[in-house]
Every structure is written in C-alpha cells, then in structure tokens.
Structure 1
Amino acid sequence: MAVTTVSSRELNQDLGKAKRAATQNPVIITDRGKPAFVLLSYTEYQRLNGAAPGRNLVEALSMPGLSEINFDPPKADMRSRPVDFS
C-alpha cells in the first residue's frame, strides 16, 4: 500500500490535494518532521473499525448462524428491599 506523506503546512496550503490522496491510500500528516496524524477516507475508517458500511441493527441481528450462539444471561433480581432513610 502506497502512503502519501504531507507536512502540516502542506496540508493547510492544499487540503483538497490531501483529501484526494486519501481516497486512494492513507495520508500521513507530519508535525515538525514526525508522523502525527493519519487522514483516511470514511470507507477505509469503517473497514478498519470493523463496521460494514450501511449495516444497521436489524441486519446485524439477522446474521446467519446467530441463533446458534449460546446466550443465557442470569435473571435480574427484581425483589424489593427495605430502604433505611435515617
């Protein structure tokens, strides 16, 4: 994967160029010559974050094989207890 590197100054001078480069590959932004930030497309961020673009709760809960997962949470204790207001 090719990575583009720009300085903070270059980024401020031509943000559009950095954004265009980020659509293809990550852009490393340096501060005083040292890598400080990474600019990614939102799609790439979602991919790295493990989120599928456009996925919603209904789609996540209807995944194949989900019904085979053993999930048996403990029952909540809902009994009332005396309260001391002194």
Structure 2
Amino acid sequence: MRVIGSREFNQDVSAAKRLARLEPLFVTDRGKPTHVLMSIDAFRRMSGERESIVDLLALPGARDAALGPVERWDREPR
C-alpha cells in the first residue's frame, strides 16, 4: 500500500496513475487518508463487476482494423 500527500498527487498525477496500476494508492490531505486511486482492473476484481456492453463494443484495436466506408441510414439510398 502506497501513500502520497495531495500536494504530491497534484504535482504529478501521471506518476500517481503509474503507481496505482501496481497497487491501490492512498492520497492524504493533512495526513488523513481522503482518497484511494486504483486501476480499473483492481476495482472490478474488488467489486465483482464484469465488463459492460459498452466496454465490449469499444473494439480495442479498432483503429488498426481495415474498416469499410461508413453507411448512412438516415437518408434515402441513391
């Protein structure tokens, strides 16, 4: 378990996110824990949540796929 102060968190959010990928990161304000930052995977394991339909439809890597032209359904065919 890592602990950082809110000032350190505000100065380098990217570093805090990197730390939170490894383990939950507690953020303190005047020495008292106020927030916990954790990866989405850790949160899902803890809460028992599964991927949502939105996550599944996001198509990771879709930018690399060769997709055809977009079809428009809101107008009459030509």
TM-score by length of 1: 0.57
SS of structure 2 residue aligned to 1:21: helix
Counterpart residue type for residue 25 of structure 1: E
Note the aligned Cα RMSD (angstroms): 1.2
Counterpart residue type for residue 38 of structure 1: V
Deviation, 1:51, is: 1.2
Distance 1:25 1:10 in 2: 17
Which residue does 1:45 correspond to in 2? 43
Rg larger in structure: 1
SS of structure 1 residue aligned to 2:43: helix
Residue 27 (str. 1) matches residue 25 (str. 2): yes
Distance 1:32 1:9 in 2: 10
Alignment of 1:49-68 (within 5 A): 49-52=47-50, 54=51
Alignment coverage as a number of residue pairs? 53
Which structure shows the higher helix fraction?
2
Distance 2:49 2:43 in 1: 9
Q: Percent identity?
A: 42
Q: Over residues 17-76 of structure 1, what are the superposed CA-to-partner deviations in whole Å (9 max), with x where a residue is unaligned?
A: 100000000000001111111001011111111113x365xxxxxxxxxxxxxxxxxxxx
Question: Runs of 5+ in structure 2 lacking a partner?
Answer: 54-78
TM-score by length of 2: 0.63
Which residue does 1:8 correspond to in 2? 6
